[in-house]
Amino acid sequence: MTQPVDTLFAGALVVTMDESERLFEDGSVAIRDGEIVAVGRRADLAHLESRETVDAAGKLLMPGLVNSHVHMADSLFRSLVEDLPLEPWLERLWISERAFVTHDNVELGARLALVEMIRCGTTTALDMFWFPEAGADAAVAAGFRLLTGPIFFDFEGPDGIAKEDRVSVGEAWLDKYADQPLIIPCVQPHNHITVSPEGMQAARRMADDAGVLFHTHCSETSTEVRQTQERFGRTPVGHLDDLGILDGPAVLAHCVHLTDDDFSRLQRTGAAAIHNPLSNLKLGSGIAPVARLLEEGVPVIVGTDGPVSSNDLDMWTAMRFAGLLQRGANQDPLLTPARDVVRMVTSVGAEALGLGDSIGRITEGRRADMILIDLDRPHLTPMFDPYAHLVYAVGRDDVRSVMIDGRFVMRDRALPTLDEETVLADVGLLAEKIRAHAATIGTA
Amino acid sequence: MTQPVDTLFAGALVVTMDESERLFEDGSVAIRDGEIVAVGRRADLAHLESRETVDAAGKLLMPGLVNSHVHMADSLFRSLVEDLPLEPWLERLWISERAFVTHDNVELGARLALVEMIRCGTTTALDMFWFPEAGADAAVAAGFRLLTGPIFFDFEGPDGIAKEDRVSVGEAWLDKYADQPLIIPCVQPHNHITVSPEGMQAARRMADDAGVLFHTHCSETSTEVRQTQERFGRTPVGHLDDLGILDGPAVLAHCVHLTDDDFSRLQRTGAAAIHNPLSNLKLGSGIAPVARLLEEGVPVIVGTDGPVSSNDLDMWTAMRFAGLLQRGANQDPLLTPARDVVRMVTSVGAEALGLGDSIGRITEGRRADMILIDLDRPHLTPMFDPYAHLVYAVGRDDVRSVMIDGRFVMRDRALPTLDEETVLADVGLLAEKIRAHAATIGTA
């Protein structure tokens, strides 16, 4: 190579998650123009000329985490609604959402979520929320890779978009963000109860026309399954499949309650299941059959869900729950080995979201979405198995630096693209109003 | 009060966990001679003269966490043995333990665990391990409150104590540590499979003679239940109860597999169940019936278990699992409300360990075991419910300062009583030997 590279990470334990899942104990990774151009042993990359060399000794370098299901701006309502099952919980939450969900507040909530996600080492998220342009603009400003896009919802929502306008508004949205390198548009109806079969099919067509991913909630609670059976005579997965929704790329958040037939349909269609263990447990929805999904070859990826139900956006905690729950629930300690869980939030996560060619692995030709983890911590000492550490011991504050698309969005814990202090202060002010409003409806 | 106090924490959100579970939004707590002498609104304590005032604005002050089940020096083997059920996992672990468990290594492992526990806000732990004097001495040096004491084990152990000598060695141990203010002696046979009925009864008598707590493993796995049935014709709880083991104060680690009769026996005897969700899940042992234990009035307290199975000593993670698991497993989001979980690791935890008069609550007359949590973090913003935050969002690195018995053992993240750098370096050196030894037996 004659041209110098931009950044050389030198001397890290590199967990590549590449096709052969290579580890380099004293490894280096070189970046040029936001792309990974070389990966290997430090000695083998020592000849590279670099504008900047980052000493990564004592650190673990791995692909950034993919949070496959989040509602960013729900961060504004963190811990406002507790101890309710999903359906009444949503009804209660929606009262506050209707009062406070404006474009500007969504952008503020998105910035709060971005601060939190970047601090925890998340480099890509799939966000579903009102005013998706507010979340997208916040992500672009923060240098964060975000999948988001038009939502569908048949009832009155805080965005004031009439049901019959959602297709045209959505198409305009997809056009607007089609060329933003960090925004990956998708189409996301809330679910098949709040959106009619016709609405679901219109959303699917919109996704197909634009060549983008389809994202919806599916089979989260037993109540939802019962309602779906009553209304449509089918399970949620069966309903979506029969509507043709699963004929194109689709990711289904939750998949907690599945029949044998549902497993077959998921397997046949290639839809991915997004496991959200934190919210599924907290809302009493249940424990998703992740072990069986994996056994049947259904891709399982992981999300935190929104911070009203989760109650934070910590992917390390979500990974730990994903890695431990199946073992306990099935009394089988061989289920979900740590490396499988790391795949769910890196290589497999990226593939299921349609980003397998660009992110999710540290390998030549991919975009440089990577995180540096400080191993010099008491809870990470000693280390005999790096994958076990990543799933069972690493935490958000062990993440030292975060790079997205070749650009540092966290460097030694500092956030160059976000004004954290102002974000926290602004949210604090808004929270006073949310609290006062909640008091008027007798719940806070 | 005429005499000045030693320390005044001023302006915190004080989560007292006292009898009325009072919260003070702008509260203060005064300490003199290691004892809490005043708790209240800042304005009401402003007249107190204090040698030192700690500005606690923007912080949450609460009782230190009680980790009710840990094997401190197993920190040396963190991530060495993965993906096995309890019994073969223990057999494999014991090979490495036998090679490396010496008095000095146990003290080193204990220091590592103490660094980790203090950093996460734990102020009291119940430790079971070989060479309990090594753990006790490390705790005294670190200023940490530790329950520990003689272990019973019928087979060859790394401490070289013959089965027939355990009573006399144990009695000498209890004598030696009887007057150490930070050491609370207890008697702890490993379990009723590795210790004969006579051994269990001898341990109970020793505990009664010394007036101390009895601590053992009980009903951890279905294999253990089956073995107990085969050998003794009873369940583990039934066996212990019939032996008279539960006639005095006792805490039973795990209690995962319980019959209706077991619940009645626990309820009748007052024994407490120690919930270790992390290791129970990881080893595939199962999900303890915590909701039913609570319903039947059995005290439930929480431990991390040892860092080979957990794989860290983070009580916040253990709390989060304790708070979420029951809801998902029983599909009931009203189970284990956040405040109940906070009780398990503070007031109820202290009471079950026989320390209810001295720690576990921020109230006048108790020893000053307290932690300061930084609320100015993105994942804790906003806060509508402090208990929800404590269980579902706070993490180890949010703990800023830790006081035990009136003395800071962590102050703004610095550790005045432990040389963390040396501990991590020494463990690193020992880990190389453990790794080399493991390679000779073909498992690492």
- What pLDDT is attached to residue A345? 98
Taking all residues of chain B, what is their mean pLDDT, rounded to a whole number? 96
User: Could you give the 3-state DSSP secondary structure of residue A15?
Assistant: strand
What would the pLDDT profile of A34-60 be if each residue is shown by its tens digit? Answer: 999 999 999 999 999 999 999 999 999
Residue B411 has pLDDT above 50, yes or no: yes
| pLDDT bucket at A90, cuts 50 / 70 / 90 | confident
Mean pLDDT of B74-99: 90
Taking all residues of chain A, what is their mean pLDDT, rounded to a whole number? 96
Lowest mean pLDDT across A342-351, A387-396, B104-113, B149-158: B149-158
Residue of B53, B15, B34, B16 whose CA lies nearest to B365:
B34
Q: Nearest-CA residue of chain B relative to A316?
A: B317
Judged by a CB distance cut-off of 8 A, whether residue B155 touches chain A is: no
- What pLDDT is attached to residue B413? 98
Partners of A79 on chain B (C-beta within 8 Å) are 382-385, 388-389, 392-393
Mean pLDDT of B377-388: 97
- What pLDDT is attached to residue B2? 65
Look at A324 and B329 and tell me if their CB atoms are within 8 Å.
Answer: no
CA distances from A255 to A37, A90, A238, A275, B225 (A): 38, 18, 12, 7, 34
Partners of A444 on chain B (C-beta within 8 Å) are 384
H or E stretch covering A287? none
Mean pLDDT of B140-148: 98
Nearest to B388 among A311, A330, A384 (CB): A311
What would the pLDDT profile of A367-426 be if each residue is shown by its tens digit? Answer: 999 999 999 999 999 999 999 999 999 999 999 999 999 999 999 999 999 999 999 999
Residue A92 has pLDDT above 60, yes or no: yes
In chain B, list all ranges with CATH 3.20.20.140. 65-352
Residue B443 has pLDDT above 60, yes or no: no
- How many C-beta atoms lie closer than 10 Å to residue A221's C-beta? 22
What fold characterizes domain A65-352? TIM Barrel (3.20.20)
Share of chain B above pLDDT 90, in %: 94
- What pLDDT is attached to residue B395? 98
Judged by a CB distance cut-off of 8 A, whether residue B243 touches chain A is: no
Residue A1 has pLDDT above 70, yes or no: no
- How many C-beta atoms lie closer than 10 Å to residue B155's C-beta? 9
Distance from CA of B269 to the nearest CA of A (A): 28
Q: Nearest-CA residue of chain A relative to B316?
A: A317
CA distances from B422 to A205, A378, A404, B112 (A): 62, 11, 35, 10
Judged by a CB distance cut-off of 8 A, whether residue B378 touches chain A is: yes
Look at A82 and B383 and tell me if their CB atoms are within 8 Å.
Answer: no
Mean pLDDT of B258-276: 98
Partners of B75 on chain A (C-beta within 8 Å) are 381
Residue of A14, A195, A121, A37 whose CA lies nearest to A349:
A121
Judged by a CB distance cut-off of 8 A, whether residue A112 touches chain B is: yes
What is the greatest pairwise CA distance in chain A? 68
Whether the pTM exceeds 0.90: the reply is: yes
| Cβ neighbours of residue A286 closer than 8 Å, sequence gap 6 or more | A221, A222, A256, A257, A280, B328, B331
What would the pLDDT profile of A60-89 be if each residue is shown by its tens digit? Answer: 999 999 999 999 999 999 999 998 888 888
> How far is B363 from B36, CA to CA, in rounded Å?
6
Partners of A75 on chain B (C-beta within 8 Å) are 381
Judged by a CB distance cut-off of 8 A, whether residue A282 touches chain B is: yes
> How far is B441 from B417, CA to CA, in rounded Å?
38
Long-range Cβ contact pairs of B211-214 (< 8 A, separation 24 or more)? B212/B149, B212/B174, B212/B184, B212/B185, B212/B186, B212/B187, B212/B354, B213/B147, B213/B184, B213/B186, B213/B187, B213/B249, B213/B250, B213/B251, B213/B353, B213/B354, B214/B186, B214/B187, B214/B188, B214/B245, B214/B248, B214/B249, B214/B250, B214/B251
Partners of A415 on chain B (C-beta within 8 Å) are none
> How far is A410 from A415, CA to CA, in rounded Å?
5
Look at B331 and A89 and tell me if their CB atoms are within 8 Å.
Answer: no
Look at B79 and A396 and tell me if their CB atoms are within 8 Å.
Answer: no
- What pLDDT is attached to residue A442? 62
Residue A443 has pLDDT above 60, yes or no: no
Please answer whether residues A363 and A350 qualify as being in contact, where contact means their C-beta atoms are separated by less than 8 angstroms.
no
User: Rounded to the nearest 5°, which phi and psi values hold at A228?
Assistant: -65, -40
Please answer whether residues A171 and A185 qualify as being in contact, where contact means their C-beta atoms are separated by less than 8 angstroms.
no
- What pLDDT is attached to residue B442? 62
Q: Where are the alpha helices (DSSP H) in B37-146?
A: 42-45, 86-100, 103-119, 132-142
Dump the DSSP string for A371-436: EEEE--SGGG-S-S-HHHHHHHT--GGGEEEEEETTEEEEBTTB-TT--HHHHHHHHHHHHHHHHH
* Percentages of chain A per state (helix, strand, coil), in multiples of 5: 40, 25, 35
What is the greatest pairwise CA distance in chain B? 68
| pLDDT bucket at A444, cuts 50 / 70 / 90 | very low
Judged by a CB distance cut-off of 8 A, whether residue A243 touches chain B is: no
Judged by a CB distance cut-off of 8 A, whether residue A90 touches chain B is: no
Share of chain B above pLDDT 70, in %: 99
> How far is B353 from B345, CA to CA, in rounded Å?
11
With 0-12 / 13-18 / 19 or more C-beta atoms within 10 angstroms meaning exposed / middle / buried, residue B443 is middle
Look at A82 and B325 and tell me if their CB atoms are within 8 Å.
Answer: no
Partners of B119 on chain A (C-beta within 8 Å) are 378-379
What would the pLDDT profile of B298-338 be if each residue is shown by its tens digit? Answer: 999 999 999 999 999 999 999 999 999 999 999 999 999 99
Dump the DSSP string for A123-136: EEEEE--SSHHHHH
- How many C-beta atoms lie closer than 10 Å to residue A421's C-beta? 11
- Look at the alpha carbons of A405, A406, A411, A417 in this order and tell me if their dihedral is positive or negative: negative
Residue of A124, A128, A138, A25 whose CA lies nearest to A402:
A124
Interface confidence: ipTM more than 0.85: yes
Look at A286 and B310 and tell me if their CB atoms are within 8 Å.
Answer: no
Partners of A434 on chain B (C-beta within 8 Å) are 382, 384
In which residue are the tokens 């400003």 written? A141
Residue B1 has pLDDT above 70, yes or no: no
What would the pLDDT profile of A189-208 be if each residue is shown by its tens digit? Answer: 999 999 999 999 999 999 99
Judged by a CB distance cut-off of 8 A, whether residue A223 touches chain B is: no
Share of chain A above pLDDT 90, in %: 94
Q: Nearest-CA residue of chain B relative to A287?
A: B328
> How far is B25 from A246, CA to CA, in rounded Å?
51
Mean pLDDT of A348-374: 98
Which tokens in the block code for residue A288?
């998703």
Pick the CATH number of B5-63+361-410 from 3.30.70.141, 2.40.160.10, 2.30.40.10, 3.90.105.10: 2.30.40.10
> How far is A1 from A114, CA to CA, in rounded Å?
36
Query: Dihedral, CA atoms, B291, B293, B295, B296, nearest 10 degrees?
Result: 160
Residues in chain B: 444
What would the pLDDT profile of B416-430 be if each residue is shown by its tens digit? Answer: 999 999 999 999 999
> How far is B304 from B274, CA to CA, in rounded Å?
10
> How far is A97 from A77, CA to CA, in rounded Å?
8
Partners of A185 in the β-ladder: A148
Nearest to A333 among B76, B284, B396 (CB): B284
Q: Nearest-CA residue of chain A relative to B110?
A: A378
User: Rounded to the nearest 5°, which phi and psi values hold at B307?
Assistant: -75, 5
In chain A, list all ranges with CATH 2.30.40.10. 5-63+361-410
| pLDDT bucket at B444, cuts 50 / 70 / 90 | very low
Judged by a CB distance cut-off of 8 A, whether residue A57 touches chain B is: no
CA atoms within a 13 Å half-sphere pointing along the CA-CB vector of A165: 9
User: Rounded to the nearest 5°, which phi and psi values hold at A68?
Assistant: -85, 0
- What pLDDT is attached to residue A2? 65
> How far is A122 from A129, CA to CA, in rounded Å?
18
Pairing of strands A5-15, A23-32: antiparallel
What would the pLDDT profile of A259-268 be if each residue is shown by its tens digit? Answer: 999 999 999 9
- What pLDDT is attached to residue A3? 87
Look at A312 and B376 and tell me if their CB atoms are within 8 Å.
Answer: no
> How far is B102 from B113, CA to CA, in rounded Å?
16
| Cβ neighbours of residue B214 closer than 8 Å, sequence gap 6 or more | B186, B187, B188, B203, B204, B207, B245, B248, B249, B250, B251
With 0-12 / 13-18 / 19 or more C-beta atoms within 10 angstroms meaning exposed / middle / buried, residue A38 is middle
Please answer whether residues B298 and B268 qualify as being in contact, where contact means their C-beta atoms are separated by less than 8 angstroms.
no
Nearest to A286 among B331, B392, B434 (CB): B331
